[in-house]
Every structure is written in C-alpha cells, then in structure tokens.
Amino acid sequence: MLRPSRTLPADGPVLDLLAPRVADVGMAVARLLPSARRRAIGPWVFVDHFGPVSTEAPIEVPPHPHTGLSTVTWLFEGSGFHRDSLGSAQALRVGEVAWMTAGHGIAHSEVMPAGRLHGVQLWVALPPDQRDRPPSFEHHADLPAFAVPGAEGTVFAGSLGGVTAPVTTHTPLVGADLRIEGEAVFPTDPTWEHGLLGVEGQVTVDGPVPSGHLAYLGVGRPWVRIRGSGRVILLGGPPYPEPLLLWWNFVVGDASALERARSDWDAHSPRFGPVAHPGPASRLEAPPLPR
Ligand code: MN
C-alpha cells in the first residue's frame, strides 16, 4: 500500500532548484510538484506549468474527481471553461481566479480553446480538519494588483505584504504573480516555506531561478529578495502539519480513505456527482492503486 510522504521543511533558507519533468494531461505539461526531492511547499502540493504554446485543437480534460484539496488554474495567456458537479459553469480569463475546493468530493472538467495558451495549475492540500468539508467553487475577476519598487504583481490567493486576495482559503498561504524589473523585496513569514516558479525572463534569489524551474526557498526568511527581469509565481505557507497522502487526484488521511475515494468514483457515487460536460459522455478512470 502507498506510504504517506514526509514533507519536512528545510531547517533554514535554502535554494533547491527543482527541474520540470514532462507529464501528459491531454497535452504535454511541465510538472514541478510533486517531485522526487520535494512533495510540497507549505500547503501547495501540485504545480503544473503549461505552455507557452499555440494549440491547433481545444485541450479537453474530461470529468474527474478530487478530494481533500483546492485547485486553481492561473492563466498568463489564453482562456478556459470550468464545469463542476456543483453546477458551476464558468469562463476563465487571464487575471481571474477560479478556486475549487473539493473537500469531501467534487468532479469537474476543463476545456481550453485552440490558440495561445500559457498558465499554471496548482493544488493546495486542505488542512486535516477541513479535508472532508463540503465542496465549493469561487470565481473572482477583481484581484488586488500592487506595485512596489522593482515589481508589480497580483495576489491570487492568500496574502503578500498586506495585500490579500478575496479568495476563501482554509489555510494561511500566498500565491502571487510577480513581474520583476530590477530588485524587489517582499516581506514574508519566516515560519513559512516558500517557492518561486520561474515563468519568463531571468531572475535570481540567492542564485539564478531559470524559467521553467521551481526554486524551493526553505523556511526562515523574513523577506524574499528577487532581482532581474522576468515573471515569477511566488508560493508559500506553513509546512504541512502531517505526512501527506496524495495519490492521483486525491488528498486523503489514510489508506482506507484513499480506497474509498477511488471506489466511490468507480461506482459513480453521488459523492462526486455528474458534470454537465458537453459532447460525448466521457470521464477519467482512476489508475489501479499501487501495491
Ligand atoms: Mn482537476
């Protein structure tokens, strides 16, 4: 049976560059988390970076389930359309956040039209006492933009330097899209872990953070100083408080909860519910559980 992964934080500031690996989600994407060396950065447990590409056909992710986490797709270019088993049907544009909290269970689908596409898909593990909360979905088109010396940006989840996103989250965290030009210093909580995804250009934090790489910055930083010219995603939060069990699309508390989530999806249980996804009926089937 699958063993939970320890997600121990570093005991101080570090610069550990996590290289992308190719994953297939209906298109080739660069997966940064989970990685062999690191399972999480604070509550952030999944980071996929897709594009920039020009696609010739729509990208379709058919209905599939989630438990125990929140998902967010954050676009730099392109657009998407989200549908879920709560009845949500929501267009997603650049600069908007669609925040889906699975809790005990939800199913959803996503479609990205043909054309330019560039963005990230991120997951946040719910804290243990919120893992089985009712599912919910929020969309926000009006997010706080800010400018400081050397940078401008948008906070799309949690708080950074007193700028707070209107998204309902169940654990302290930060998710921010930053454009750096020169040198910028961001106040951070030294008890939190932080990470920086290089999106475009050339920036350094202690050392270079190449585009397409995820720098794990450890804990113990009262500020994060970023230099250079480029675009980055800053992620952070308190280290996850217990060993993390993430398998396929599920964050769960133990192996029996994982087996139950998988068999409930197999059995078309109302726990996940139908998604009004257009076109031929299709759904993603769960892979076999590891032995
Ligand atoms: Mn999903």
> What does the angle CA 107 – CA 276 – CA 73 come to, to the nearest 5 degrees?
50
DSSP conformational letter for 282: -
Phi-psi region of 128 (alpha: psi -120 to 50; beta: other; left: phi over 0): alpha
149 HSE (CA, 13 A, CB side): 4
CA distance 284 to 228: 42
Show the low-confidence residues of the chain (pLDDT under 70).
Answer: 1-3, 6
90 CA distance to ligand 1 middle (Å):
14
List the one residue out of 131, 70, 63, 67 whose CA is nearest residue 97.
70
98 CA distance to ligand 1 middle (Å):
12
Q: What is the pLDDT of residue 279?
A: 79
DSSP conformational letter for 150: T
45 CA distance to ligand 1 middle (Å):
13
112 CA distance to ligand 1 middle (Å):
13
Look up tokens 């039209």; give the residue.
Answer: 113
List the one residue out of 8, 9, 15 whose CA is nearest residue 208.
15
Q: Do 12 and 218 touch, CB atoms closer than 8 A?
A: yes
151 CA distance to ligand 1 middle (Å):
31
283 CA distance to ligand 1 middle (Å):
12
Look up tokens 């050339």; give the residue.
Answer: 202
Q: What is the pLDDT of residue 8?
A: 82
Structure-block tokens of residue 66: 């989630």
Burial of 98 (0-12, 13-18, 19+ CB in 10 A): buried
Q: What is the pLDDT of residue 2?
A: 62
108 CA distance to ligand 1 middle (Å):
6
Q: Do 113 and 58 touch, CB atoms closer than 8 A?
A: yes
Q: Do 183 and 219 touch, CB atoms closer than 8 A?
A: no
Structure-block tokens of residue 2: 């699958």
4 CA distance to ligand 1 middle (Å):
21
Q: What is the pLDDT of residue 26?
A: 81
248 CA distance to ligand 1 middle (Å):
10
Q: Do 157 and 175 touch, CB atoms closer than 8 A?
A: yes
Structure-block tokens of residue 72: 């967010």
160 CA distance to ligand 1 middle (Å):
26
**Which amino acid, residue 51?**
G
167 CA distance to ligand 1 middle (Å):
18
66 CA distance to ligand 1 middle (Å):
7
CA distance 63 to 265: 11
